[in-house]
Amino acid sequence: MVKAITNTNDFVVKFANVNGSGSASANELFARAILRMGVPVSPRNIFPSNIQGLPTWYEVRVNEKGYLGRRGGVDLMVAMNPQTWAQDLRELEPGGYLFFDSSKPLPKSRFRDDVNVIGVPLTEICNSTYTDVRQRQLFKNIIYVGALAALLEMDIPEIEKLFGEQYKGKEKLLGANVKALKLGYDYAKEHLQCPLGIRVQRANNVRDKIFIEGNNAAALGCVYGGATVCAWYPITPSSSLAEAFIRHCQKLRVDPVSGKNRFGIIQAEDELASIGMVVGAGWNGARAFTATSGPGISLMTEFIGLAYFAEIPATIINVQRGGPATGMPTRTQQADITACAYAGHGDSKHVLLFPEDPKECFEMSAQSLDLADRLQTPVFVMTDLDIGMNQRLCDPLKWDDKYQMDRGKVMDYDALEGGKDFGRYLDADGDGIPFRTYPGTHPTKGAYFTRGTTKDRYARYSEEGPVYVDNMQRLLKKFETAKRLVPAAIGRPAKQPTKLGVLYFGSTAPAMNEALDAFDVQGINVDAMRVRGFPFGEEVIEFLEDHEQVFVVEQNRDGQLRSLIMNEAATDGSKLIPILHYDGTPITARFIIGEIAEKVAILKVTPIRKVAN
Amino acid sequence: MTYITKPKLHHPSLVKNQVGYTRRDYEGAISTLCAGCGHDSITAAIVSACFELDIEPHKVAKLSGIGCSSKTPTYFLGNSHGFNTVHGRMPSVLTGANLANRELIYMGVSGDGDSASIGIGQFAHSMRRGVNMVYIVENNGVYGLTKGQFSATADKGSKSKRGAVNTDDCIDLVMMALQLGATFVARSFSGDKAQLVPIIKAAILHRGAAFLDVISPCVAFNNHEGSTKSYDFVRDHNDAVNRIDFIEPRAEITTDYAAGSLQEVRQHDGKVLRLRKLSEDYDPTDRIGAMNYLLQRQAAGEVVTGVLYLDQDSQDLHGSLNTVGKSFNRLTEAELIPGSAALEKINATLR
Ligand SMILES: Cc1ncc(C[n+]2csc(CCOP(=O)(O)OP(=O)(O)O)c2C)c(N)n1
Ligand code: SF4
Ligand SMILES: [Mg+2]
């Protein structure tokens, strides 16, 4: 007999579909229904760079404990794409379940001996129920959700409730969907053994959490942070961020009396133009941002350098993906750290923020607008495809109504009229940050000519060496100030004191949290710290000093954060051990545990078990 | 060398305009361009236009790319904010600036290299978006600042100073602006102040993308025999289609004009542009006619100047984007931030 995986509320379902077949909404329905049963899920889209016809996958990890990282391995494959059948079959864990459309008989050789096969004649059911071709296609997806609901013991009323919300006021559609769901459910109940060894059981671990894509949350953050100008050029995986900003603005930012917009969004001709517009708006005192990905950053680099030297606020949300051209780029990576930290020509470096999930995408996008104004410099929000384009369970978004935008050091008419000394590049307060004026402020005072490098403290043209050096030193001082303003790193000490540490950031967080829990159980003691901003704050420096070996976990080939640490935190590189995952799939706890456990063994570090007191 | 300011000793007899400024108040630092450079004449024309239009200098924002031409914003309107951006990218920065504050006048200065080569994309797209601005290309057919290479506006067959012949076809920015939807298109010559100053004034008053191609000889690299952007060549081949005589609200006609030689064009704000026709059947409100005329005359080797096209009911980017009247940079928290209650509602839809 074939072994069968048994597990309640802890398994991975993967849907293999054909792009453009309408499966996306059915798959999301499946994930949401489990959430409604109080069981956390984390779905991930895996899609190729095309629109229609090619394969796409949707992988749902169901995990009662709330681990949201990718697990790796598949327990139940919903194989709806004949094209990828062999590959999909291979991915199944032994004892896993293969769900497929059994309308056409398949030879035994197409299956595996060690997996459980569940056939549902989806096409047959559809063809005998619907005459319309499109309906046959769309309802096939709902029918398989119905069958899965029976197989996994999911609550049908929860799914019906979701339909009710989705098709409010469209009773006909609602009825048709419920009917399709029942078709699948009833077929499974009648013909198959329900439930399977894996199943969902009602729990209470979702509570008030929300289910949102990072890009959507970041867009909301820009609305709440007071951005009025957005200029962008479409690029996966960032486009949905700008598109979400458009939607939110249309709902939240239209003057109720005049019907006019308190926002200006431009789909620019390229990224050179989108960053140029952001820089122009920032120069003129509006909060502005762009959303892009790696190739866009490359094109923006000249402007980013200019904004650094001319000291102009600009927010750049980089939804990172793989390297150049097309293909891998629709996969996830954290591989633009170096490119962003040092974007520009001449000596320049930039403020980076690293959100771990949609909630931080929201908070850090809003905060980046404050930081850009306060520091008068480009600020990058370094999210990625994994956070940006997947719905992720996270705490509800919160807003403090007492919030006031920090517009930074802006000299207004009264200050100028009152005779305050205005030097555009003068360090008036000792923090390296000069005052600026908005164009048009005062008839005779406060105007200046903005250019890159060739200027003195009063923005007068100068090509003299000492004047240049003076300005460059002040910019360094400003960067020092930034250390105190960026979000601080968050530490998680091990159960026992240890000289081993691990640094990580961004979308690695869910996998890392899971790995750290596992280390706790295994008695491997590693102090962890999640870096949230660059330049690195004091806490990061101390962490590095306090540990003899520090793993740096990242999703790129070259250990880019590690290099940044070596460059900017004056640390001996030999104690920084890279843990690198960069095949385009999101990093997993399994990977981290494997790598670190192996390296700990090699280091022959015996975990300190007793607390020295 | 560092910074050169002109002594600001105001002569008491200097006349003030209606907003209380003298012509000197519209000047900037002393030019560091070559003596005789066409760009300096354009600077002077901008100074005159702003002075005569009674514009408060600080209500103008000057933006430019990189090049000798793009340096000139330092030399006019010293009390205005200026931004010397990067090569070829003035239009995007200006677009963003314009979005942030719709209450200022935007003056974009560029060169032929800046706009017809590296920045041709941004030039084109700012035209089709209808950004409310005056976009001046100081066109000398060469890269002045990098010492005399041909630019994309150099005519095919024209000769460089060293005798090399340009084999590439030229890009005519005026034709492109017409084709791309600019709502005010003019060409002039830095050596013809009488034509240039009123054109700049009309462009400033225009709502929408106003594009001016001003031929501006480079005395250092492109003013020789065989160049089609030299003072002599342009003087000899200048086919001016019209001259602006007045830009006034309800201006009275005080001069005698020959019948049929006068065309009055009403602007969106009620101001009337009175054009004295120099070419009988040229109608600057006819975009297609203008393009035809230009093609014909240019084929004959002429440089057509004047107000070439003008859309009386022009729209601008703010109009297309339906933005509020209050400038974005003055909007407050109450106007921008939806608050925690709205966020709670959003949270509720995400469960
Ligand atoms: C990205 C970049 N490439 C090249 C240059 C060098 N460069 C400076 S000005 C210029 C050409 C300027 O020509 P034009 O716009 O016609 O101005 P002119 O000097 O003729 O007035 C070039 C190529 C630059 N500044 N930036
Ligand atoms: S090089 Fe040519 S364009 Fe530049 S300042 Fe001299 S004359 Fe003018
Ligand atoms: Mg030139």
- Classify the phi-psi angles of B40: left when phi > 0, otherwise alpha if psi is within -120 to 50, otherwise beta: alpha
The residue type at B154: A
CB-CB contact of A506 with A539 (8 Å)? no
**Contacting residues for A79 by C-beta, under 8 A, at least 6 apart:** A16, A85, A88, A89, A98, A99, A100
| d(C-alpha B267, C-alpha B278), whole Å | 21
Q: What is the CA(B65)–ligand 1 centre distance, in A?
A: 8
pLDDT number for residue B4: 61
Examine the fold and report which residue of A339, A367, A394 is the final residue of a domain before the chain moves on. A394
Confidence of residue A610 (pLDDT cuts 50, 70, 90): very low
- Asked if this assembly's ipTM is beyond 0.85, the reply is yes
Confidence of residue B10 (pLDDT cuts 50, 70, 90): low
**Among candidates B99, B65, B108, which has minimal Cα distance to B85?**
B65
B54 interface with A at CB cutoff 8 Å: no
CB-CB contact of B164 with B226 (8 Å)? no
- Residue A235 in any domain: the answer is yes
Window 9-48 of B: residues touching A by CB (8 A cutoff) are 29
Say what angle helices A271-283 and A294-310 make with each other, to 10 degrees.
30
The count of other CB atoms within 10 Å of the CB of residue B71 is: 22
| d(C-alpha A587, C-alpha A504), whole Å | 12
Give Cα A82 distance to the centre of its chain: 31
CB-CB contact of A189 with A212 (8 Å)? no
- Residue A405 in any domain: the answer is no
| d(C-alpha A229, C-alpha A278), whole Å | 7
The DSSP 8-state label assigned to residue B130 in this structure reads T
**Among candidates A543, A464, A541, which has minimal Cα distance to A500?**
A543
Q: Residue A229 pLDDT more than 80?
A: yes
Shared domain check, A115 and A58: yes
Shared domain check, A556 and A447: no
**Averaged pLDDT for residues A339-365:** 97
pLDDT number for residue B1: 42
Shared domain check, A369 and A267: yes
A214 interface with B at CB cutoff 8 Å: no
Shared domain check, A443 and A543: no
Shared domain check, A309 and A287: yes
**Among candidates A290, A380, A295, which has minimal Cα distance to A329?**
A295
Domain boundaries, chain B: 23-321
A112 interface with B at CB cutoff 8 Å: no
Residue A466: cis peptide before it, omega within 30 degrees of 0: no
A224 interface with B at CB cutoff 8 Å: yes
| d(C-alpha A291, C-alpha A492), whole Å | 31
pLDDT number for residue B25: 95
Q: Nearest C-alpha to atom 5 of ligand 2 is from which residue? A: B33
> Mean pLDDT over all residues of chain B?
92
User: If you write DSSP's letter for every residue of A339-404 in order, what string do you get?
Assistant: HHHT-SSSS---EEE--SSHHHHHHHHHHHHHHHHHHTSEEEEEEEHHHHSSEEEEPPP---TT--
pLDDT number for residue B257: 57
Q: Summarize pLDDT for A480-508 with one digit per residue, the tens.
A: 999 999 999 999 999 999 999 999 999 99
Confidence of residue A323 (pLDDT cuts 50, 70, 90): confident
Output the ligand 2 site: residues, CB below 6 A: B 33-34, 37, 39, 68, 140, 144-145, 218-221
The DSSP 8-state label assigned to residue B295 in this structure reads H
Chain B residues closer than 8 Å to A268 by CB: 92, 125
Confidence of residue A54 (pLDDT cuts 50, 70, 90): confident
Shared domain check, A426 and A351: no
Shared domain check, A597 and A524: yes
**Dihedral angle sign, alpha carbons of residues B211, B217, B222, B228:** positive
Task: Average the pLDDT over each of A189-203, A451-465, A520-534 and give the range with the smallest value.
Answer: A451-465
**Averaged pLDDT for residues B255-266:** 69
Examine the fold and report which residue of A467, A485, A503 is the final residue of a domain before the chain moves on. A485
B321 interface with A at CB cutoff 8 Å: yes
B292 CB burial (10 A radius; 0-12, 13-18, 19+): exposed
pLDDT number for residue B273: 83
B46 CB within 6 A, ligand 1: no
Q: What is the CA(B232)–ligand 3 centre distance, in A?
A: 18
Q: Nearest C-alpha to atom 2 of ligand 2 is from which residue? A: B218
Q: Where are the alpha helices (DSSP H) in chain B?
A: 38-52, 68-71, 90-100, 112-113, 120-129, 173-180, 193-205, 231-237, 287-299, 317-321, 333-336, 340-349
Shared domain check, A347 and A259: yes
Q: What is the CA(B88)–ligand 1 centre distance, in A?
A: 8
Q: Which residue has the tokens 């007045």?
A: B246
Residue B256: strand pairing partners: none
| d(C-alpha A16, C-alpha A27), whole Å | 10
Q: Which domain holds residue A550?
A: 490-612
Using only the alpha carbons of chain B, give its radius of gyration. Answer: 21
| d(C-alpha A534, C-alpha A380), whole Å | 10
**Contacting residues for A62 by C-beta, under 8 A, at least 6 apart:** A9, A10, A11, A12, A13, A34, A39, A40, A41, A200
Q: Which residue has the tokens 């989705």?
A: A166
Q: A61 in helix, strand or coil?
A: strand
Q: Summarize pLDDT for A72-94 with one digit per residue, the tens.
A: 999 999 999 999 999 999 999 99
Q: Nearest C-alpha to atom 11 of ligand 1 is from which residue? A: B143
Q: Nearest C-alpha to atom 3 of ligand 1 is from which residue? A: B87
Give the gap in angstroms from C-alpha B262 to the nearest C-alpha of chain A.
38
CB-CB contact of A555 with A332 (8 Å)? yes
- Residue A575 in any domain: the answer is yes
Phi, psi of A225 (to 5 degrees): -80, 0
Shared domain check, A102 and A11: yes
Tell me if the domain spanning B23-321 has CATH number 3.40.50.970: yes
pLDDT number for residue A275: 98
Count of domains in chain A?
4
pLDDT number for residue A601: 85
- Residue A404 in any domain: the answer is no
**Among candidates A442, A418, A437, A441, which has minimal Cα distance to A426?**
A437
**Among candidates A16, A21, A15, which has minimal Cα distance to A135?**
A21
Q: Residue A21 pLDDT more than 90?
A: no
Say what angle helices B287-299 and B173-180 make with each other, to 10 degrees.
160
Chain B residues closer than 8 Å to A282 by CB: 96, 100
User: If you write DSSP's letter for every residue of A522-584 in order, what string do you get?
Assistant: HT---EEEEE-EES--HHHHHHHHH-SEEEEEESSSS-HHHHHHHHHS---GGGEEEEE--SS
**Contacting residues for A49 by C-beta, under 8 A, at least 6 apart:** A236, A326, A327, A329, A330
Q: Residue B145: nearest ligand to its CA?
A: 1
A536 CB burial (10 A radius; 0-12, 13-18, 19+): buried
Confidence of residue A328 (pLDDT cuts 50, 70, 90): low
**Contacting residues for B350 by C-beta, under 8 A, at least 6 apart:** A210, A211, A212
Q: Nearest C-alpha to atom 25 of ligand 1 is from which residue? A: B87
CB contact under 8 A, A280 and B351: no
The residue type at A290: T
pLDDT number for residue A259: 98
Which of A228, A365, A369, A435 would you mutate first to test chain B, the one with the most B CBs within 10 A? Answer: A228
Shared domain check, A466 and A424: yes
A401 interface with B at CB cutoff 8 Å: yes
Residue B114 CA, closest ligand 1 atom number? 15
**Averaged pLDDT for residues A202-227:** 98
User: If you write DSSP's letter for every residue of A131-173 in order, what string do you get?
Assistant: -SHHHHHHHHHHHHHHHHHHHTT--HHHHHHHHHHHTTT-HHH
**Averaged pLDDT for residues A389-398:** 97
Q: What is the CA(B221)–ligand 3 centre distance, in A?
A: 10
**Averaged pLDDT for residues A12-36:** 94
Residue A231: strand pairing partners: A266
Q: Summarize pLDDT for B178-233 with one digit per residue, the tens.
A: 999 999 999 999 999 999 999 999 999 999 999 999 999 999 999 999 999 999 99
Window 250-289 of A: residues touching B by CB (8 A cutoff) are 252-253, 255, 258-266, 268-270, 272-286, 288
Pairing status of strand B81-84 against strand A576-580: unpaired
pLDDT number for residue A430: 97
Q: What is the CA(B143)–ligand 1 centre distance, in A?
A: 6
Task: Average the pLDDT over each of A151-155, A609-613, B289-293 and give the range with the smallest value.
Answer: A609-613
Domain with A115 in it: what CATH number?
Answer: 3.40.920.10
The H or E element spanning position A441 is none
Give the gap in angstroms from C-alpha B324 to the nearest C-alpha of chain A.
5
Sheet containing A576-580: which strands, arranged edge to edge? A490-492, A527-531, A500-505, A549-554, A576-580
- Residue A400 in any domain: the answer is no
- Closest-CA residue in chain B for A407? B329
pLDDT number for residue A51: 65
Q: Residue B35: nearest ligand to its CA?
A: 2
**Contacting residues for A531 by C-beta, under 8 A, at least 6 apart:** A354, A489, A503, A504, A505, A540, A561
User: If you write DSSP's letter for every residue of B55-89 in order, what string do you get?
Assistant: --GGGEEEEE-SSHHHHGGGGB-TTSEEEE--TT-
CB contact under 8 A, A273 and B103: no
Which of B85, B98, B114, B344 would you mutate first to test chain A, the one with the most A CBs within 10 A? Answer: B85
Task: Average the pLDDT over each of A4-13, A568-577, B4-13, B112-121 and give the range with the smallest value.
Answer: B4-13
Q: What percent of chain A has pLDDT over 70?
A: 97
Q: A277 in helix, strand or coil?
A: helix
The DSSP 8-state label assigned to residue A208 in this structure reads T
A398 interface with B at CB cutoff 8 Å: yes
**Averaged pLDDT for residues A372-385:** 98
B151 CB within 6 A, ligand 1: yes
Pairing status of strand B105-111 against strand B60-64: parallel
Domain with A336 in it: what CATH number?
Answer: 3.40.50.970
B69 CB within 6 A, ligand 1: yes
Tokens read off for B225: 């025999």
pLDDT number for residue B3: 55
> Mean pLDDT over all residues of chain A?
95
**Among candidates A294, A240, A242, which has minimal Cα distance to A24?**
A240
Q: Residue A368 pLDDT more than 80?
A: yes
- Residue A554 in any domain: the answer is yes
Shared domain check, A374 and A461: no
Q: B44 in helix, strand or coil?
A: helix
Q: What is the CA(B229)–ligand 1 centre distance, in A?
A: 18
| d(C-alpha A266, C-alpha A36), whole Å | 38
Shared domain check, A474 and A500: no
Examine the fold and report which residue of A485, A514, A546 is the final residue of a domain before the chain moves on. A485
Q: Summarize pLDDT for A252-311 with one digit per residue, the tens.
A: 999 999 999 999 999 999 999 999 999 999 999 999 999 999 999 999 999 999 999 999
Chain A residues closer than 8 Å to B346 by CB: 220, 397
**Averaged pLDDT for residues B45-69:** 97
**Averaged pLDDT for residues A364-386:** 98
CA distances from A312 to A266, A425, A480, B285 (A): 20, 12, 18, 41
